[in-house]
Structure 1
């Protein structure tokens, strides 16, 4: 007897109005009144997004008759009991899809994209049941050439089962798996390659001139390095890069066997492109980051994410490890697999140092706090965020660097962060024959100490639970790399970040303790003049360059519709530029670190 199955269907019903029609049929509804809910957030993006606000209509029926639905909170509905014995119940809703991002759903006459968390209601209490989803073609002649791209498995043996890239029925083992496979429909570019025997595909939607052969070759090299880094076999039988190319955009979201990516079309390689352009390097870094997540957060998870709820926030203090460590390895993987040179990688690390050093928030918030507060601070930035928040991506990557160097120097390259990551995979990872267990707050420190024999309590106390500066220069020195800080040749500073709108210059952020804040200027103020001379986007830098740090100036600005004047003393240029220089041509520690091949030793579990 086949197990009960939740059946879904989804069809772009009105692409011009950005509407999907979505159905969910429960074979045996709760006799007390089946409840349905749409997730409030999507795993991997830590912000309550209230996807249910995009449901524009909803109705229920059983045995061909309407069933009353009562909305009991912002994203939950309860059906009126249909009898004393469980019976089939179908919910039909229309979902508005106009979010051109990697997190939600987007639909028009050119393509359709959705994450299951933004369109598929879950039958509460029945989320463990297997699911079938019928992905249907929009009606009309313009859509007859559309295809489907998803890592969902075709429902072989089921009536109407889909072929790969075809419309039809797909399957998922549970609701959690159903919503972890985004779907693209449309007329897209497609390329395929194999990495360590695993089929991989790249789908690109939107107008572009991508050299698919170059992209596939580079991704193959990258993916094979990561698979071998953690150890074959790969944890997925198939992998899909879903790329949406736009005029200007950037973003990625990881999934179990795919990633959704948004990029500028100029980020993609073009035919006969020579070398590694910076924009393409950035795109490959994004691909590397999301692919690394196939292990580090999708299958190695913090304890808080092992049984997460989709209705509310799920708090963890460990995003510095799952996002920060991934941010360290994303570009390092490009270096180790030969896609970029050492000088390129050192430049990228220096830029990360610049980013962390630029914002005063690093002095107020620890990485553990930043991780825990991601839901309310990091993912909800405002004009004061640079003063109060530290990025667990950027500083987390620097902590990974510092920990890697500490382990390597302390053990003469016998133990490294590579060994910590691989042992995390062996002991905590969800893979064939191993269910996976959650990583606790102290587990990474304890594991690093166990493998290396080093005492790391002070390192973690200061780097993760403190706000002191990371001492990277002395850590890099034994590896033959000098950290240099150069004063950038910039004008004296107001201590602000500005934004322009046409000919207007407004204050976007007023940095804590800076000249502007001390004088009373505030974020949102419209700068009008300095010492009686009009401020424009072109003139501000010129006006400041003609003055010296410590010099007093008079600033006129509008706050709302009120003209105000301020006197302030200019500060010294704040933009220290970090630079990493190789000072020794040969260095055994550095070579063991940056030329590590994928055939590295495997730790025991």
Structure 2
């Protein structure tokens, strides 16, 4: 057994002190290591850089410690029980790392718990200690780890994990959090809310029950967990989530939570964003935490693990996170269709879809997706966004080929039964093979063509054709304004193109700062580049609010003079404005029944 003790030794200095004890070391030399990345976030993070110092002793005698590389240590001359002490600096306010101050403590095991090489399968025990001082007496503990040795749930004390993999897959939150508890399909669930907030607790609890029960029944009871915790940090501005085997770490903005004053008949956009996040991470309990790519069995947290399948594990999850909300009646059909229109718009505006296949996007997540630069809109396609549209296409295509007798859900259930429950890794062709089997061999050629097109090419997806099968027309229009990200219409729209420079930008202290330049745009042709600070157009000052207005006053084909700074040098550009691209998705009802169309309701019903 491997024992740990973790103490928030100095919240003001953001320091955890960890003690690792081995009563029976396996040899005279012990190798220790800390993960370099955390499952679910596919980028090398180098968590070991936050270890302040590390010391080893046995029976009161200091032992020599040498560094093998950036994340590995070797302890020598071990002749008895071994005690390792070290401090970890915790000031990463994200769902991936560790954070500690006088208001709360949070950590993922990947940030604080050293692994003992060769003993990763041994049981792990952790004594989670309360910070010293009266200011912390109201703090409690929320974690997916199992309380043991008399420790009660949510108390400081001893917790257990079956092995190191489970240990680092159960993050810990400690604070005076607000606890919302409920049952879903008989399983205890909790949401721990840390941070200043107001919330309609009853509404949030009831919506979470609907979501969790939907996902459990989607795959089939019983649930694969005996308890589950949503650890939620409420911020002024924040958004993010990371899935774990029986918990999730979430960040949300205060405005994302439902308020007692909100209209009970409507789901505001910010609350919909939060429910999507909760639904997404909970669906991951099956899809990626148990149904895994073969490359993740087991995880190798010391180096990158490459897979072409993130489009399915994130894309399918992103598809079902929002679909669950309409299927459970939390949101109406039209609000769901608006989210589909926005997703398609994001994909259409990503010029990288014409450069990078979704399989390549998955494989290159470690660099291109997680380390995006100013050229990313021209070169990268999101396996989240395009994966969602692929899932939509697959769902509608399977329904079409089987006369609505089967759907993408049947594929997911088979993945759960054949791979997740048996802990067998999903191979690159597993999903394709299951889909062909479900639809019938007579459709093999058509499905193989679809998968080749969707996964391994940069050809456009057949989403327009497939949406027609559920009485929806998809048309692309020039956006009405900067905030137009897609719409649902009763009748066919006819937007007029507007003059466009072809940049993404943000407010700057003076003028606007160019974030990205689309390669086939007026700005690119004029020589404008990311990082340029534009201050005037046609000798009139521009800022974040005025720029769109100045553009609208121009004509398509007109040449404008733009001035700005590149670094500290004033530079002049002449740009001939082009017509705005028809890259905004509008969904139009093609049935007189509109959102009550039988075909549409059949798709969107559980």
Q: TM-score range by the shorter chain?
A: over 0.9
Distance in 2 (CA, whole Å) between partners of 1:575 and 1:458 is 27
In structure 1, what is the equivalent of residue 424 of structure 2? 437
1:383-432 C-alpha deviation (Å, 9 max, x unpaired) = 111111000001100000001111101110111101000011010013xx
Distance in 2 (CA, whole Å) between partners of 1:272 and 1:347 is 25
Alignment of 1:506-517 (within 5 A): 506-517=513-524
Q: Which runs of 4+ in 1 moved over 4 A?
A: none
Q: Is residue 2:555 matched to residue 1:548?
A: yes
In structure 1, what is the equivalent of residue 472 of structure 2? 481
In structure 2, what is the equivalent of residue 501 of structure 1? 508
Of 125, 131, 135, which aligns to 1:138?
Answer: 131
In structure 2, what is the equivalent of residue 208 of structure 1? 197
Q: Is residue 2:29 matched to residue 1:33?
A: yes
1:106 is displaced (CA, Å) by 0.7
1:473-512 C-alpha deviation (Å, 9 max, x unpaired) = 2111121122233322344111111122233311110111
In structure 2, what is the equivalent of residue 593 of structure 1? 603
Distance in 2 (CA, whole Å) between partners of 1:28 and 1:445 is 48
In structure 2, what is the equivalent of residue 180 of structure 1? 169
Unaligned runs of 5+ in 1: 597-605
In structure 1, what is the equivalent of residue 456 of structure 2? 465
Contact 2:511 2:541 in 1 (8 A): no
Secondary structure at the aligned position of 1:478 is classed as helix
Contact 1:499 1:506 in 2 (8 A): yes
In structure 2, what is the equivalent of residue 599 of structure 1? none
Of 258, 261, 269, which aligns to 1:269?
Answer: 258
Secondary structure at the aligned position of 2:170 is classed as coil
Of 326, 330, 340, which aligns to 1:335?
Answer: 326
* Between 190-199 and 515-524, the greater mean CA deviation after superposition: 515-524
Distance in 2 (CA, whole Å) between partners of 1:314 and 1:130 is 25
1:68-87 C-alpha deviation (Å, 9 max, x unpaired) = 1101100110001323xxx3
Of 429, 432, 450, which aligns to 2:437?
Answer: 450
1:164 is displaced (CA, Å) by 0.5
* Between 527-536 and 97-106, the greater mean CA deviation after superposition: 527-536
Contact 1:34 1:81 in 2 (8 A): no
Distance in 1 (CA, whole Å) between partners of 2:559 and 2:508 is 27
Contact 2:348 2:584 in 1 (8 A): no
Distance in 1 (CA, whole Å) between partners of 2:276 and 2:8 is 33
Contact 1:129 1:175 in 2 (8 A): yes
Contact 1:72 1:78 in 2 (8 A): yes
Contact 2:510 2:535 in 1 (8 A): no
Of 337, 346, 359, which aligns to 2:337?
Answer: 346
In structure 2, what is the equivalent of residue 113 of structure 1? 106
* Between 436-445 and 584-593, the greater mean CA deviation after superposition: 584-593
Secondary structure at the aligned position of 1:7 is classed as strand
Unaligned runs of 5+ in 2: 482-497
Of 221, 227, 241, which aligns to 1:238?
Answer: 227
Secondary structure at the aligned position of 1:71 is classed as strand
* Between 387-396 and 28-37, the greater mean CA deviation after superposition: 28-37
Contact 2:52 2:87 in 1 (8 A): yes
Q: Is residue 2:82 matched to residue 1:89?
A: yes
1:190 is displaced (CA, Å) by 0.5
* Between 509-518 and 295-304, the greater mean CA deviation after superposition: 509-518
Of 288, 295, 298, which aligns to 2:286?
Answer: 295
Q: Is residue 2:355 matched to residue 1:364?
A: yes
Secondary structure at the aligned position of 2:562 is classed as strand
Of 396, 399, 403, which aligns to 2:387?
Answer: 396
Of 238, 249, 254, which aligns to 2:238?
Answer: 249
Contact 1:154 1:162 in 2 (8 A): yes
1:587 is displaced (CA, Å) by 4.5
Secondary structure at the aligned position of 1:517 is classed as helix
Contact 2:516 2:530 in 1 (8 A): yes
1:179 is displaced (CA, Å) by 0.8
Q: Is residue 2:479 matched to residue 1:492?
A: no
In structure 2, what is the equivalent of residue 194 of structure 1? 183
Q: Is residue 2:54 matched to residue 1:58?
A: yes
1:65-118 C-alpha deviation (Å, 9 max, x unpaired) = 1111101100110001323xxx32111111111111111111000110111111
Query: TM-score w.r.t. structure 2 length?
Result: 0.94
Alignment of 1:524-563 (within 5 A): 524-563=531-570
Secondary structure at the aligned position of 2:88 is classed as strand
Contact 1:550 1:571 in 2 (8 A): yes
1:575 is displaced (CA, Å) by 5.7
Secondary structure at the aligned position of 1:464 is classed as helix
Distance in 1 (CA, whole Å) between partners of 2:136 and 2:155 is 13
Contact 2:2 2:122 in 1 (8 A): yes
Secondary structure at the aligned position of 2:169 is classed as coil
In structure 1, what is the equivalent of residue 415 of structure 2? 424
Secondary structure at the aligned position of 1:591 is classed as helix
Contact 2:9 2:131 in 1 (8 A): yes
Secondary structure at the aligned position of 2:499 is classed as coil
Distance in 1 (CA, whole Å) between partners of 2:194 and 2:511 is 36
In structure 2, what is the equivalent of residue 11 of structure 1? 7
Distance in 2 (CA, whole Å) between partners of 1:504 and 1:65 is 64
Contact 2:513 2:532 in 1 (8 A): yes
Contact 1:409 1:589 in 2 (8 A): no
In structure 2, what is the equivalent of residue 151 of structure 1? 144
1:546-600 C-alpha deviation (Å, 9 max, x unpaired) = 111111112222211222222221111236321223332264443332112xxxx
Contact 2:476 2:582 in 1 (8 A): no
* Between 367-376 and 485-494, the greater mean CA deviation after superposition: 485-494
1:357 is displaced (CA, Å) by 0.8
1:23-61 C-alpha deviation (Å, 9 max, x unpaired) = 111223242410111110100000100001111111111
Distance in 2 (CA, whole Å) between partners of 1:527 and 1:286 is 36
Distance in 1 (CA, whole Å) between partners of 2:64 and 2:193 is 42
* Between 513-522 and 113-122, the greater mean CA deviation after superposition: 513-522
Q: Is residue 2:378 matched to residue 1:382?
A: no
Distance in 2 (CA, whole Å) between partners of 1:141 and 1:400 is 52
Contact 1:531 1:555 in 2 (8 A): yes
Contact 2:508 2:533 in 1 (8 A): no
Distance in 1 (CA, whole Å) between partners of 2:71 and 2:511 is 41
* Between 468-477 and 40-49, the greater mean CA deviation after superposition: 468-477
